[in-house]
Amino acid sequence: MFNLIAKIEVGFSRGESAKGLPSVYYRNEKTMFNSVKNSIARLKILGCIILVFSPAGAATAVEPLLTVKQIMNAVITPSTNTIWGAYQLETDAQWKEIESAALAVIAGANLLQMGGRGGGEAVIAQQAQWQRFTGQMVAASEKVLAAVAVKDEEALSAAGNDDLYPPCESCHQAYQSK
């Protein structure tokens, strides 16, 4: 799985993904160059999203301000692509990039569990299947964190391919057209 994704990523110009969005990292066929600047920017965006969803006071109701698609595009997709594209990690900075991506998936999945501001998204988020998929994303990301902690690329690959990819794909099949 990683090799297929890596070959796809190689074909894009520096700093752009398939959809023209800024990529989280740059890659040639043998080396992944971390972009600390993009990582910091992604974490700042995530921090803003979390602040937006955080209650100002005890009596304040939390209302989603972003749609599910916005959460997916800003947080989940770049973070999962970083995890799935990881290979031949050699430096602490590269492992840190994967750790940051896993943390972003956990935070993004938490936001997805609330639903989004789009029509009907809060109702869909209450469904058991939706909650199961987002819970599986969190559990898989925790496995990614465990692999990062011991710098085990084989465990990272298994967590990304065997644990993270299936709930993402299943959720897309069930909900993406809705």
Write the burial class of residue 28 (CB in 10 Å: 0-12 exposed, 13-18 middle, 19+ buried).
exposed
Rounded to whole angstroms, the Cα distance separating 93 from 115 reads: 33
Single-letter residue type at 148: V
Of 12, 5, 167, 8, residue with least CA distance to 87 = 5
Give me the number of domains the chain comprises: 1
86, 24 Cβ separation under 8 angstroms: no
Kindly report, residue by residue over 124-175, the tens digit of the pLDDT.
Answer: 999 999 999 999 999 999 999 999 999 999 999 999 999 999 999 999 999 9
Least confident of 6-15, 27-36, 72-81, 119-128: 6-15
The more confidently predicted of residues 176 and 60 is 176
**For residue 27, what pLDDT band results from cuts at 50, 70 and 90?**
very low
Report the range out of 27-41, 75-89, 164-178 with the highest average pLDDT: 75-89
Which positions ≥6 away from 25 have C-beta within 8 Å? 32, 33, 34, 35, 38, 82, 85, 97
Average pLDDT, the chain: 79
How confident is the model over 58-63, as a mean pLDDT?
66
pLDDT at 26: 37
Rounded to whole angstroms, the Cα distance separating 130 from 135 reads: 8
Take residue 77 and report the two structure tokens written for it.
Answer: 């997709």
**For residue 30, what pLDDT band results from cuts at 50, 70 and 90?**
very low
Range of the domain at 89: 2-175
